[in-house]
Structure 1
């Protein structure tokens, strides 16, 4: 049986994360598909090395760049759009898929995997498209947050008349979104499609506590789950147009990364899942629930019966058994 696994934010420019990726063996995943939802590295050479290794572990790999991939630090690329298209050419050369592809999971039960390119919309760019939610009690220093956010130092954007990066990337999805698919659709993006996914649900908080307990840590939630109280991540989380495209596709599952906090819930018929490797300090604090169970990518298709929630319920149940 072929399966579809997914992971994001593997950050292989960190040695501890490289060890994780190298521990994923072809003996386990050789018949399976991997969805990799961005944030591997800002280094083109290391990205090539990581993607190549994953193509040797999995039968096929789907990928979209995250924000780290579009950092321009070497001086070789003129801007982040240029680097994005260079990465797509690299993927074509390696056989890594950045376009929709049909995946045979069970005999006669194919699914369509649809990569969606994305970026985030800040409230200054478009107040209707941003996922920004003002904190009810904390005074925000926008200038300080912009200085802290490394994309503002490492991304280079050419002038876009009547547009902004998130809109540019969503427009690249138009052909894929306009296509008609007669099989279940699993879409994925690096960035987030909804503001109501930013904060954890009660069951997602409980999953963090269970993760910490299984690791022998204090069975309680770290304050703000490790995030600075004064930093409002929603400014840089994603864009609403992405969810419009997910709905146009009729996705049964949408997988995303970016926030380094795992999610699993159903909203209006779509199951939203994020599963990040993240940084060692986040794993050591048990913030990335599910990592102790999976040890790497999470199986998202097919789903075990106990892993299929009814509409409106959070989707955290017993994880499917790994065969």
Structure 2
């Protein structure tokens, strides 16, 4: 199928066995790490963003802490204590991808330390409505409050999902489902977490992306996409994430950014925030992508100052499947993804996807 906007051929099916042998595609279920010049195809998962340019823990010019656990233990002073007498925490996780049985078991095993703990879910719970609903329902039953922001996988119209809604209609249905469960979304009033040093506004965001994280040397979206297709690095969003009724994904992104910016600007200026988005708000986290062409599906330059402009004490994101902590402009950025089994099995520690963002014991 040829794209009306770009003239590019969209990947509508998996490669043939001949293509696999000729081009060196990697089976998406393999645990092997591909070499730099090997192409990867994955019709279920976004491709080409699996590996860091540096080893876990290696510095890349910024403060970096690999893995999960505590983002910055005891941040903000003395701990808030809930009714149970246990210090309360603001935890976060993303990219649970529960279509994988091993990941589903991990998601079902997530439990709070305190009856008053909150959990931020930064997108990509799964692709199918039933899976997303079941996991969020379980988390809501266990945590005091659950706050969800959508990822690209939830927005897919997946061929295996009986729910055939597309674009805005699908997102709206996800929001209604979350509200029925008692899970907060980007369309609800921003909740206030009773932090140890005072209240913190938790803002779940849905900015999407607009291809402005272009490939080096590309002046336009079309040029950037051409380079990505030539490199064999194409996000499955191009086939499954529909922007209806918007003409394209960037138009949907721009509408989302404008509406979200207005809401963030209306927050009490005396209150700090925790910003929660599936896609990173700044481009720098994508600098470590092994396949730099994938960055164009990872955010928008329009959000580059939100962490400073809206007084963030932490910015939580996922999508990259590179769990780590970095700091930009003095603000901690927490990539909290679990990722696919073939990824987390290669990490030295056992999966610990739930990361403390604020609060907890000191």
**Residues 272 and 310, structure 2, Cα contact 8 Å, conserved in 1:** no
Are 2:164 and 1:164 equivalent residues in the alignment? no
Q: Which runs of 4+ in 1 moved over 6 A?
A: none
- Select the structure that is richer in helix: 1
Q: SS of the residue aligned with 2:312?
A: coil
CA drift of 1:56 comes to 1.4
The aligned residue for residue 354 of structure 2 is: 297
Q: SS of the residue aligned with 2:325?
A: strand
**Residues 29 and 57, structure 1, Cα contact 8 Å, conserved in 2:** no
The aligned residue for residue 114 of structure 1 is: 203
Distance 1:50 1:112, change over 3 A: same
Q: SS of the residue aligned with 1:103?
A: strand
- Greater C-alpha radius of gyration: 2
Q: SS of the residue aligned with 1:18?
A: helix
The aligned residue for residue 21 of structure 1 is: 107
Query: Where do 5+ consecutive residues of structure 1 fail to align?
Result: 123-129, 201-223, 304-321
- Bigger relative contact order (CA 8 A; separation at least 6): 2
1:170-222 C-alpha deviation (Å, 9 max, x unpaired): 1331342121332321111001222211134xxxxxxxxxxxxxxxxxxxxxx
Distance 1:146 1:42, change over 3 A: farther
CA drift of 1:145 comes to 5.9
**Residues 131 and 239, structure 1, Cα contact 8 Å, conserved in 2:** yes
Matches within 5 A, 1:155-194: 155-158=241-244, 160=246, 164-181=251-268, 182-194=270-282
**Residues 227 and 293, structure 2, Cα contact 8 Å, conserved in 1:** no
The aligned residue for residue 132 of structure 1 is: 214
CA drift of 1:244 comes to 3.2
CA drift of 1:10 comes to 0.6
Are 2:238 and 1:152 equivalent residues in the alignment? yes
Distance 1:285 1:185, change over 3 A: same
Distance 1:151 1:35, change over 3 A: same
1:93 to 180, 190, 194: 180
The aligned residue for residue 246 of structure 1 is: 307
1:48-68 C-alpha deviation (Å, 9 max, x unpaired): 100000011211001111000
Task: Judge which range, 5-14 or 179-188, deviates more.
Answer: 179-188
Q: SS of the residue aligned with 1:10?
A: coil
Paired with 1:62 and 1:81, the residues of 2 have a C-alpha distance of 20
Matches within 5 A, 1:219-234: 227=290, 229=291, 232-234=293-295
Paired with 1:84 and 1:160, the residues of 2 have a C-alpha distance of 13
Distance 1:148 1:111, change over 3 A: same
- Output the aligned Cα RMSD: 2.7
Equivalent residues, number: 263
